[in-house]
Amino acid sequence: MPEPDGLAGLGPRRKRGEGQAEHLRGNAIVLGLVYIAFATLAVRLERKPHFEEVFGNAGLVLLLGALVSGVLDSSTWGVWGVALLAVAALVMWISFGLGRSLYFALGVLAAYIGVLRLLFRWSPVSLAFLVAALLGVGALALIFTAHRRMIER
């Protein structure tokens, strides 16, 4: 039996669980962007700038998590993969310039998961596990190197 969706049943009627992943993914992307905007405004307007880390991390976890969810769960995972890698690269580039190593690490982690999806899709399993381990070591080396450079500046 279809259940009402939305506030007080005002939304369209759907079966339980139908389309909820896409809806949740969209909400996470929007909310993540809002949190990132709050982080930016907190610093630029000098209003509670110490909240920037909380808003920024929460926003990036929501945004990148929603994109990772699209890569792992959606039938159109290729489109989500391109979006994930583009956003992760943008996050790494901006966070390196700002000297935010945790933001950088979140971008690297999201890109790593996106690349793993491609790797396990088209490679033999034994080779995929070996390459995944090597990529993991490379991702950690990249994070440590970037962190060290951020501290030196």
Supply the pLDDT for residue 5: 53
pLDDT, the chain, mean:
87
- pLDDT tens digits, one per residue of 10-29: 555 556 556 688 889 999 99
C-alpha dihedral, 116 to 117 to 118 to 124, nearest 10° = 80
Is the pLDDT score of 4 beyond 60?
A: no
Which pair of tokens denotes residue 68? 């990772």
pTM of the model: 0.82
Is the pLDDT score of 80 beyond 50?
A: yes
Supply the pLDDT for residue 49: 80
Supply the pLDDT for residue 1: 47
Mean pLDDT calculated for residue range 82-90:
96
Is the pLDDT score of 134 beyond 90?
A: yes
| Closest listed residue to residue 25, CA positions, set 98, 105, 84 | 84
In sign, the C-alpha dihedral spanning 65, 100, 119, 141 is: negative
Q: What is the DSSP letter of 1?
A: -
- pLDDT tens digits, one per residue of 52-77: 899 999 999 999 999 999 999 868 88
